[in-house]
Structures are given as structure tokens and as C-alpha cells.
Structure 1
């Protein structure tokens, strides 16, 4: 017989193992890269068993997709939290890019896997990419409708322009990580390009 308490305990336990496995995959990506990572590598880093892994995920790919989804959600939350909607548009751009760079600096290998390796995974990865870009675009549009932008008399950013900005930022990010350069080096060019494209005055 199951109980609400028992179900809640099993759910909590499952969440803990799931989180550990996602972090195990993240550590293995840093160590070996996604393609070379095996389920054995993931459970070794997570300090658990293959049985536990397959209780949570059907495959390494499913675990990877979940890791990227979680990572993208954390990034968006971090950016939103960093932006003061009452500040000037250039200040909001600076804060948003700073939060983005802080996030990818903490996990460059995961960021590069999202940009370069995930697209090769097929339909599930395409759905993840579309969802992430939709959410990021929504965030940029929301920032551009903030009180700070309204006070400056600026029209909201279109979704098309948001996608152009995001696409360029992703590619610049990937090139820095691939070359082993400090991703903080993208800050100046990214901020200047964003301000120019939005027609802002710094």
C-alpha cells in the first residue's frame, strides 16, 4: 500500500539521485567531453550505480538533454535576477551580459556542448534548442518592455532581432571556449554590438 508520505519520500530521493547524475555528467563532460563520456563515467562521478542511472534516465542522451535544459533554465533565472527593470537600457544590457558571462564562465564545457554537440542529437535536441531560444528571446523582449526602456522612449525588441543577437552571442561564445580563451573577453564586443543594434546611447 502506498501513502502520500511514501510517494513524497520516493520523489525526493529520486530528485536527489537525478541531480547527482546530472552533475556527474557535467563533471564527465569537463573531463572527457560528451561524446567520449559513458554511463559508467556518469555514475562514477555521481557515486551511484548504473541501476540508479537507468531508474532516472533511458539513455545518456536523455540525461544530456535534461542537463542542458536545467543549465539553460539556471542561466535565464540568473540573467533575470541580475537586471534591474528600473535602470537605464545600457545598464540593463550591461547587467544581462554580465550575468550571462558569469554563468558560462562557471561551466564553459557545458555551454560548448550545448552549442556544438547537442544539434547532432536529432529531434529531441532540436526541440530543446528551440525551447531555449524561445525562452531567451522572451526574456530579451521582456527586458525591453521594462520601465527603464519605457522611460527612455524605446520600442520593445522584436523576436527577430532578439534571435539575431542571441545567435551572434552564441557563436562568439563558442569560438572563445574552443580556442581556450577567457570568455570574459567577449564582454566589450558583445555589449557594444547590443547597444548599437538596439540604438542605445551608452
Structure 2
């Protein structure tokens, strides 16, 4: 179940301040002083809302990941042919990454490095994305083609690979459009398993 994000005007400003600083100098070099400078407020106000920049990053990434999921969901028409749905989902993912590459790298590289404090966020986003992928493959366009919905374990494998590919392309400074064709090919292969495969019917337990 998705946690309710922190909502307050000052929190919005602080999160926006962190976003600006990450774009300007990266997360690791960002200080609380940088955040409040961009947010045009004080350190005292910052610490009234967050224990430190790690908690502010977690809130930023929670919102970012919610936007990502909402964007993919909005882009996919359940009645489209299944191939079109895959391209629509990948297109929405790529558009999201293109709009915020620095934040994407924080999600992939920095959040896991935070350790236990970020573990709920990491589990939540991967769980939400897995659920979304499973749900999409249950849509009418997939059912008409006689395709079995992807299993959660296979969805997780696809998402893990996609995250790493995304980080590689962004870190290399390449066009994020380079994500599209490999992602479409992997998703297509995932929903059209070889005859006799039983993997899609196996339950997943975390």
C-alpha cells in the first residue's frame, strides 16, 4: 500500500529546493544550506520539517515515483493492442526520465545507499511498479491476444534491468531515447514466453 506523502506548502518549497540543488551540484555535494537557499527559508525551518537531507530526499523520491507511476498509467489505454500498450508505457517512462535525469539517478544510485532509512521507499516503489506492470498485462488488449499476465517475479526482473539500463544511459550522458527499443524488446519477450513455460503461473512471495 502506498504511503500518503507529506503535504504542506513549506515542505513543497523544501523539496523543490532540494531538487534545484541536486540539478545544480548533485545530491552528495548538496547541504542543508543549499536546500534552504533555493527554498528561500532558514535552516531552523528546514529542521522543523525534516531530520536531515536524507529524509528530504526520501520525500522527494516518493513524490517523483508517484508521478512516474501516474504518468505511465495515464499513457496506457487498456483497450489498445498489447504492443501499443507496451510502447505507450515505455514512452511515458522515457519522457519522465528525460524531464528529470538527475532525480532519476538519485532514485537509482543514492536512495539504496541510504540504507535502512530508505528501505521502505525502495520496497514501496518497486512493489508499486511491479503491481502496475502486472495490472497492465491484465488489460483487454493483452487478453484478446491470449497472453498470460506477467508474474510479479518476472516483472521485478524486468524493472531491475530497466533501472540499471537507465542509470547507465543517464550517467553516460546519452539520449534517454536509447532506453526505448531495449525496453520494448524486453517487455515484449516477457509477455510472450516460450511454449511450455510455467513461470508466469508461479506465485511470488517476498
Calculate the TM-score normalised by the size of structure 2. 0.88
* Residues 145-193 of structure 1: CA deviation (Å, up to 9, x unaligned): 1111111111111001100110110000000111111111111111112
- Match of residue 190 from structure 2: 197
Is the aligned partner of 1:74 residue 2:82? no
Distance (whole Å) between structure 2 residues aligned to residue 105 and residue 189 of structure 1:
16
The gaps in structure 2 that reach 5 residues or longer are 1-6, 194-206
**Which segment is superposed worse, 118-127 or 134-143?**
118-127
- Match of residue 19 from structure 2: 26
* Residues 27-58 of structure 1: CA deviation (Å, up to 9, x unaligned): 11111111110011001111122122112111
- Match of residue 198 from structure 2: none
Distance (whole Å) between structure 2 residues aligned to residue 147 and residue 51 of structure 1:
53
Aligned match for 1:188, one of 181, 187, 200: 181
Distance (whole Å) between structure 2 residues aligned to residue 132 and residue 58 of structure 1:
22
Kindly indicate whether the alpha-carbon contact (under 8 Å) linking 2:150 and 2:190 is maintained by their aligned counterparts in 1: no
* Residues 112-153 of structure 1: CA deviation (Å, up to 9, x unaligned): 111111111111212211110000000001101111111111
Is the aligned partner of 1:154 residue 2:142? no
Which ranges of 4 or more aligned residues in structure 1 deviate by more than 6 Å? none
**Which segment is superposed worse, 182-191 or 163-172?**
182-191
Distance (whole Å) between structure 2 residues aligned to residue 186 and residue 102 of structure 1:
11
- Match of residue 101 from structure 1: 94
Calculate the TM-score normalised by the size of structure 1. 0.89
Larger helix share, 1 or 2? 1
Aligned match for 2:166, one of 173, 194, 197: 173
Is the aligned partner of 1:60 residue 2:26? no
- Match of residue 164 from structure 1: 157
